[in-house]
Amino acid sequence: MSLVIEAATMADATAIAEVQVASMREAYEGVLPRSLKEAVLEPGRIESRARMMERWLGRARVTTFVARDAGHVIGFCTLHPVRDDPEQPEVGEIASLYLLPECWRRGVGRSLCEHVFEAGRTRGFEEIQLWVLEPNTRARRFYEAVGFEADGRSRVFFENGTDVVRELRYRGCTSARWFATRSRRPVGGESYRDSTDRGGRQLATTAARLDPAACPLRGPPGPA
Ligand SMILES: CC(C)(COP(=O)(O)OP(=O)(O)OC[C@H]1O[C@@H](n2cnc3c(N)ncnc32)[C@H](O)[C@@H]1OP(=O)(O)O)[C@@H](O)C(=O)NCCC(=O)NCCS
């Protein structure tokens, strides 16, 4: 695999939508209530998501990065200023991060996140936030592994009679020093690796190396 991560263009809109729908189908199977899954994955979703992506790609303050393998879009991540509080220009938000299922667990998500943190730093974001569905444990484990922390805030994402799905807020600091200590990566590991080299890798223990002073996150975690 030859991984390239770069800013998306309008020409990527449909490929991004296809990645998102394929990724959601696999990720939410057995995880979300059927009523919500059907709403998220309704027929015609690729077309409508492609149009939505075109609108996002046209916005100056929104940047979508794509991961390409041999020129094909295999994943993407969208970054913009935080939506909850426009008074916080130093806080960015990851709006979406999706990879084709066949590319999961091969280091591509980590590479995309590293790229986004670097881009966020360049844009003056000290912190990056995101919301993740509570039952999406795969994504939560991923975000925790690359340096995000749940801050205790949660909100209802979907409610339909007996089905209630909440989402949780995660925060990460873009400080290079903080990121280096928080992000668990294989010792001596490169940012992309082939799935064949998974055996026997040793994870750096982060707890001992954490440097809270490196992260100037403002204020205590918000209320639930
Ligand atoms: C979440 C997602 C982007 C992660 O990308 P990825 O390329 O699979 O993740 P990586 O291979 O870079 O994993 C980095 C680390 O995250 C953790 N991680 C990733 N997937 C994990 C899983 N299924 N279970 C536990 N930990 C996991 C591991 O610590 C991993 O490091 P390791 O492989 O050295 O152990 C990808 O799984 C995806 O597209 N999921 C569906 C879409 C989705 O849920 N997006 C989030 C919406 S908020």
Q: Which of 37, 98, 142 to mutate to test the pocket of ligand 1 (most atoms within 8 A of CB)?
A: 142
The residue ranges of every structural domain in the chain are 3-208
Q: Is the CB of 110 under 6 A from ligand 1?
A: yes
Asked if CATH classification 3.40.630.30 holds for the domain at 3-208, the reply, yes or no, is yes
The per-residue pLDDT for 144 is: 96
* Per-residue model confidence (pLDDT) at position 187: 39
Q: What is the pLDDT of residue 33?
A: 87
* pLDDT tens, N- to C-terminus, the chain (224 residues): 899 999 999 999 999 999 999 999 899 988 888 888 877 777 678 899 999 999 999 999 999 999 999 999 999 999 999 977 777 889 999 999 999 999 999 999 999 999 999 999 999 999 999 999 999 999 999 999 999 999 999 999 988 888 899 999 999 998 866 666 666 554 333 333 322 222 322 222 233 233 445 544 444 333 33
Q: DSSP string spanning the chain? A: --EEEEE--GGGHHHHHHHHHHHHHHHHTTTS-HHHHHHHT-TTHHHHHHHHHHHHHT-TT-EEEEEEETTEEEEEEEEEE-SS-TT-TTEEEEEEEEE-GGGTTSSHHHHHHHHHHHHHHHTT-SEEEEEEETT-HHHHHHHHHTT-EEEEEEEEEEEETTEEEEEEEEEEE--HHHHHHHS--BTT--SS--GGG-TT--BPP-GGG--GGG----SSPPP-
pTM: 0.84
pLDDT for res 151: 94
Which residue's CA is minimally distant from atom 27 of ligand 1?
142
> Which atom from ligand 1 is nearest to the alpha carbon of 105?
11
